[in-house]
Chain A
Amino acid sequence: VTDGFEAFFEDHYGEVERAVALAIGDRGRAEELTQEAFARAYRRWRRVSEMQRPVAWLYVVALNAERKRWRHEQIATAPIVVAADGEDHAGGVVTSIVLQTAIAELPPRQRAAITLRYLADLSNAEVADAMGCAEGTVKATIHQALKSLRVDIGGEA
């Protein structure tokens, strides 16, 4: 019944835990949430393993408790983050450090959205499931986050 779970656990535990940690900003809690998500996946492995993207389901389960918080977060109160702009004479190091700081200072909802989208590589629809909101809201949140980070959005979000 649990064939393949071990490999799934080995392959994805680390990446899920770090993405959840960054999304919620609490590594200790992220570890608990991730372990509980994998425990649930184990119990329902026959069904979970048949999903198209079992790892996306893990994020939905792991972030279940956070959804309510994100839902009530006022987008309008999101502070505008001033990130690095222009030339980076140190080979991208400055850009990366400044960007990391800017990402860390994003409102939780925006940080979670871009973390799930660009670190966990979830689709907008999967991010919407994980965050408990509409896909359009995810797009708007990511757009706002990238705009705050002064990222060249192009065709993204």
Chain B
Amino acid sequence: MNIVDVRDALHDLAGPAQMPTEAQRAAVDRRVRCSRLMQLTGAVALVLVAVVGVVFVARPWSDDHEPTQVVTSAGTTIHDEQLGYTVTIPPGWVREPVHVKPGYELPVILRLRYGYKQGALGEDCAASGTQVGVSIGVQEDNLIRPPQPEFAAQFRRSPVFGPDSDGGLTVNTYPPVCGRLEQSLMFEEAGRRFFIGLTMAANTSPALQAEAYEILNSLRFDRGTFVDKVRSDTSTTTSVSSPP
């Protein structure tokens, strides 16, 4: 036997090559159409996934969650599990939306106000004098982590916040915020470091000032579920020098 015999046997085994039937032609057409449909569906799905991905990445991380709230006669206690704080705010105070994303080095995680309008300063002292109310901004410092033990004393939280805490409540005499009362508080809690800016209009009543400090004293922090995500990007770009 030789190769020719093998060829012949293979041809006999396989049978004659038939011309394609209409059914086979239709089957190929169907597969082409089906494949195009699948490609189209796949492309649409890909676009949808991309859009959802972009929306997910670009969305303000803390805007779509609703912290738990407990309302009592003393006010509303809010626990934000993601940003990791609990605070009680008296009636009339407003908690403004904040935008926290991964990589923010100094994100404002909480902003409260009573009548005060951010950025509503006038061009001069007279115009700024129309500002009323109080504003509290809580900013987290993600620049240095973890909190350095040698600075622990410097960032120890005051047992009670009041007009004398840290640098104290001072009057800003510079235009255009003439007469505005300001106080900065810095401390560490739950392995996180915070700056709190307290701003009051010049004519703020003692009762409203007291409410502001009540709020600050009710403020407690925990790890929160966003902390590590927010820090994730900055952790690779921030370096901390150790003292010799």
B123 an interface residue at 8 Å Cβ cutoff?
no
- Inside 8 A of B240's CB, which chain A residues have their CB? none
Determine whether the beta carbon of A19 is less than 8 Å from that of B24.
Answer: no
Residues of B within 8 A of A (CB): 1-3, 5-20, 24-25, 27-28, 31-32, 35-36
- Inside 8 A of B2's CB, which chain A residues have their CB? 151-152, 154
With A10-B19, A13-B20, A96-B8 as given contacts, are A39 and B35 in contact (CB-CB < 8 Å)? yes
A-B contact pairs, 11 of them (CB 8 A): A13-B24, A18-B18, A22-B13, A39-B35, A43-B36, A84-B1, A96-B5, A99-B6, A100-B12, A118-B6, A151-B6
Q: How large is the interface on A (under 10, 10 to 19, 20 to 34, 35 or more residues)?
A: 35 or more
Identify whether the interface residues of B are mostly helix, strand, loop, or mixed.
helix
Assembly CA distance A103 to B5 (angstroms)? 11
With A15-B17, A114-B6, A119-B14 as given contacts, are A36 and B1 in contact (CB-CB < 8 Å)? no
Among A19, A42, A119, A146, the most chain B Cβ lie within 10 Å of the Cβ of: A119
Closest to B32 in A: A39
Determine whether the beta carbon of B1 is less than 8 Å from that of A152.
Answer: yes
Determine whether the beta carbon of B1 is less than 8 Å from that of A14.
Answer: no
Assembly CA distance A13 to B12 (angstroms)? 18
Which of B3, B19, B24, B36 contacts A151, CB < 8 Å?
B3
Assembly CA distance A119 to B11 (angstroms)? 6
